[in-house]
Chain A
Amino acid sequence: MADPMKIRANLTGDSTEVKVLMSHEMETGQRKDGQGKPIPAWFIQNVKVMHNDKVVLTAQWGPAVAKNPFLSFKFKGGAKGDKVRITWTDNHNDTRTDETTIG
């Protein structure tokens, strides 16, 4: 199973800054292994960030997003103690959801 994400959500004024690190190969499908066989593409395709029950960001990624992806953005309306929940789904249909509390 995929490793947990590392999520930070910090409130400054009325803006919540979310920073997330995900553990993922993000294999491009362009590389070859030691025997010269192509390594199949394996990458996160969809990301969704929820604040409590509201979607605050969705993303579609291609294999050009760097390995162990990083994403940072800000949204309004968050309060300390609220939940921020992030889900990713990759092209193998593997998925992972983690959450944190706004601090």
Chain B
Amino acid sequence: MGHSATSGGFFMNADRREALKAGGAWTLLTLVAAAGWLRPGDATAAEAWNKAAFETHSMDETMKALGGGTPAQSTDIVFFSTPDIAENGAVVPIGVTSKVPKTESIAILIEKNPNMLAAMFDIPPGTEPSLSTRIKMGQTSNVYALVKADGKYYVTSKEIKVTLGGCGG
């Protein structure tokens, strides 16, 4: 059946995997959604938001919530257009490219934010495993780019310094 937006990515929590193993119903739903038969608004209601993964405070907890093991460090994950210093923590540009074959999803995690996970993206075949977005950082922190490829997890990180801008008033 190939990939769909929701199969095999971070979006899948334990329940969903069970559903998938059980076959039938869920697979049909994703195919229907992927084919656009459900209009947005209908389909989005069926989309998952992994609450547990967005409430974690460490990489371990996050991996657990995502249902994955210890990620291997990889030089095939690269940050681009990601500054070493943020002039303001309210908007920090982050770009991640994964050269890991069969990349299925990319997540951005901020070690010292109140909750570590900032965003996760599922990358279906045909979409380049490379994207950029902007996140908030409360303070100077390590930023992790976590990639799931062919069922395995890979990670790289860099520190971004957050500075106090302006006149300080």
Contact = CB atoms under 8 A, between A and B. Distances in A.
Q: Do chains A and B touch in the complex (CB under 8 A)?
A: yes
Interface of A: 15, 26, 28, 30, 45-46, 48, 50, 52-67, 69-77, 85, 87, 89, 95, 97
Contact of A62 (B92, B117, B131): B117
* B contact residues, range: 35 or more
Contact of B121 (A15, A57, A69, A70): A57
Contacts of B124: 54-57
A55 B40 contact: no
Interface in B1-40: 4-6, 9-11, 33-36, 40
B130 A46 contact: no
Contacts of A63: 115, 136
Interface stretch (B46-54, B70-78, B144-152, B155-163): B46-54
B31 to A, nearest CB: 11
Given A58-B11, A77-B126, A67 B132 contact: no
Q: Which of A76, A85, A89 has the most CB of B within 10 A?
A: A89
23 contacts: A48-B43, A55-B33, A56-B124, A57-B122, A57-B127, A57-B131, A58-B6, A60-B120, A61-B118, A61-B119, A62-B117, A64-B115, A64-B117, A64-B119, A66-B90, A66-B91, A66-B92, A66-B134, A71-B131, A73-B128, A76-B128, A87-B40, A87-B44
B69 interface: no
B82 to A, nearest CB: 13
Nearest to A98: B40
A60 B49 contact: yes
A75 B128 contact: yes
Main secondary structure of the interface of A (DSSP, over half): strand
Given A59-B119, A89-B47, 15 more contacts: A46-B48, A54-B124, A55-B5, A55-B124, A59-B120, A60-B10, A65-B119, A66-B91, A66-B133, A66-B135, A67-B91, A74-B127, A75-B127, A76-B127, A97-B40
Given A55-B4, A60-B119, A95 B128 contact: no
Contacts of A75: 126-128
